[in-house]
Amino acid sequence: MFKNVAELVELAEKGNIPISEVMIRQEMEVKQVTREQVYTQMERNLDVMEKAVEDGLKGVKSHSGLTGGDAVLIQTYMRNHEPLSGHLLMDAVSKAVATNEVNAAMGTICATPTAGSAGCVPGTLFAVKNQLNPTRDQMVRYLFTSGAFGFVVANNASISGAAGGCQAEVGSAAAMAAAAIVEMAGGSPSQSAEAMAITLKNMLGLICDPVAGLVEVPCVKRNAMGASNAVVAADMALAGVTSRIPCDEVIDAMYKVGQRMPTDFRETAKGGLAATATGKKLEAQVYGNVQKS
């Protein structure tokens, strides 16, 4: 059993196994199930994620009308132009957006770690897939690796926007993705931890301010930024860049920041973008439409 990132990395290094394997073994021990049962469940999650990405890239619209179609716009842009930030990065962005647009349209997604932050992990996975050409097993392990780091955050801090702001949701999701990218790219367990730390510390203080109280604006685009943050942080870690603040301390800092964040900035739709003139106007339009329907 591991309780923090330091213990997770130590178990992987001492056993000369990847972080994904540590997580698989812990799931078997905690749930008292077989390897096949643990693996099959995660493989089902991968199937759901893949379909969500595919559905989003075909184009979906939310019932509120606030979101939808942006993933298609990004893919069209990439076909017709050379993206300034590079194809892989924008592909990850489009697939993160696609997943969250499916969520907003009431489609089926995997909460990683929440529905509002569900785009970062699959968005990055199905983007780096095209470059790294992983096996299906490696893709499933990607999810176990991200889950291991998410497990630590959930048990030592928070993954709830209502409790800790969007830093706890998209911040955690992006950090989980960064760690998983590193392992898939052949990095070490300690490099995965560095990627996690680099990502999360650069999203500290991110508020949760959903317009009209819906998981759409700015949530969808924040997943896009979370995915891009994850890819860049993974590259930095693979290059040998380290975080001066250890990963577990970054997670603790995120928790403390969230605790001190005013309630207006924690999913109440009373502050930030939700409280702008346009945010209020959109809220009135959304609930006016609901009352008429």
CA distance 131 to 91: 11
Q: Collect all residues with Cβ–Cβ distance below 8 Å to 239 and sequence separation of at least 6.
A: none
Low-confidence stretches of the chain (pLDDT < 50) are 292-293
Q: Tell me, what's the pLDDT at 289?
A: 63
Domain carrying residue 151: 5-292
Q: How many domains does the chain have?
A: 1
For the record, the structure tokens of 259 come out as 């605790």
Specify the CATH number for the domain of residue 24: 1.10.4100
pTM of the model: 0.97
Query: Which of 259, 254, 253, 269 is CA-nearest to residue 167?
Result: 254
CA distance 188 to 221: 30
What single DSSP character describes residue 134? -
Q: At what angle do helices 219-238 and 120-132 cross, to 10 degrees?
A: 40
Q: Tell me, what's the pLDDT at 293?
A: 45
DSSP assignments along 206-251, one per residue: --B--GGG-S-TTHHHHHHHHHHHHHHHHHHHHTT---SS-HHHHH
Q: pLDDT of 152-163, one tens digit each?
A: 999 999 999 999
Q: pLDDT of 92-145, one tens digit each?
A: 999 999 999 999 999 999 999 999 999 999 999 999 999 999 999 999 999 999
Q: Tell me, what's the pLDDT at 290?
A: 55
